[in-house]
Amino acid sequence: MRKKIALIGGGQIGQILAMLAAQKELGDIVILDVPGYANVCKGKALDLMEMAPHGNYDANIIGTSDYKDIEGADVVIVTAGKPREAGMTREDLLNVNIKIITEVANGVKQYAPKAFCIIVTNPLDAMVYVFHKVTGFPKHQVIGMAGTLDTARWRAFIAMELGVSVADVAGTVLGGHGPDMVPLPRLTTVGGVPLTEIATPEQIEKLVNRTREAGTEIVKLFGKGSAFFSPAWSAIVIAESYLKDKRRVLPCAALCEGEYGVNGLFIGVPCLISAKGMEKIFEIKLTEEEKAQFQKTVASVTKTVSECNI
């Protein structure tokens, strides 16, 4: 029997998630959105079904506004929410998206209580916290996508700056999904060569700043809306590791309970994603400077979460 993937939110990210999940044959797919958008979801689902003969994949794809249709889902990926617009911070989204995420969480709790849940909605660190609190799901079952995306951006910018293949760039980004995130140049390599040996301090500083502002850079270019290709692929990487037990070590917003000195917050850290869900958090020995940067991002996430009043 095929696995079942529920995509909550049928907008730009949701439709790309559906296409990628179908192309990778991860399972059957349900695209769910509010009643007023249900026909659009049905149309997108039908369009993807009609693409299958040329795409060479087998998957049953439907669109709906009824949470009953996600019943028994193995994976739930949540993108529902208001997107950022130019001049809008992630925190500006907080109140409207808390209401949306609460509704989603209740629907998932009722119909897919065993699903591995990946949250994409911004402000991500707060939204994954709210989802976890409302559902009461164990920590291995709920993850935030952000670190996987932030690390992809870090790797992409390094490859672009140095004129090398992204395949040879390895690194990670810790912390919240915002301007205080913590790229780690010290632990980043290009084909095994430390980044600090092949890039100037000025280049590294530029790369760190661009990574921290990557989402805002795209929002400014679009004028309205935010990134959709890269967040979708980042979420699929996590879902695939779970569904296929690939045991990838991916930076995700995970619930820390003492790791990195953090308690009760979802924060971007390296996680082992397996068939058990978020199986393990790996702790990196940070320098004093990195610790200070990490504490700054923790303070920002703490502030945002406290404003959720949940």
Residue positions forming the annotated binding site for NAD(+): 9-14, 33, 97, 120-122
Residue positions forming the annotated binding site: 9-14, 33, 84, 90, 97, 120-122, 153
Please say if 177 is a catalytic residue: yes
CA 53 – CA 34 distance, rounded (Å): 29
Contact 81, 126 (CB under 8 A): no
Contact 133, 310 (CB under 8 A): yes
Residue positions forming the annotated binding site for substrate: 84, 90, 122, 153
| Amino acid at position 142, single letter | V
Which candidate in 54, 132, 140, 177 is catalytic? Answer: 177
Nearest-5° Cα angle at 217, 211 to 219: 130
CA 60 – CA 83 distance, rounded (Å): 28
Side-chain half-sphere of 303: how many Cα atoms within 13 Å?
A: 11
Q: Which two tokens stand for residue 64?
A: 């709906």
Alpha helical stretches, state H, the chain = 12-23, 38-55, 94-111, 124-135, 146-162, 195-198, 201-212, 214-222, 229-243, 288-306
Residues 6+ apart with CB under 8 A from 138: none
Residues labelled catalytic: 177
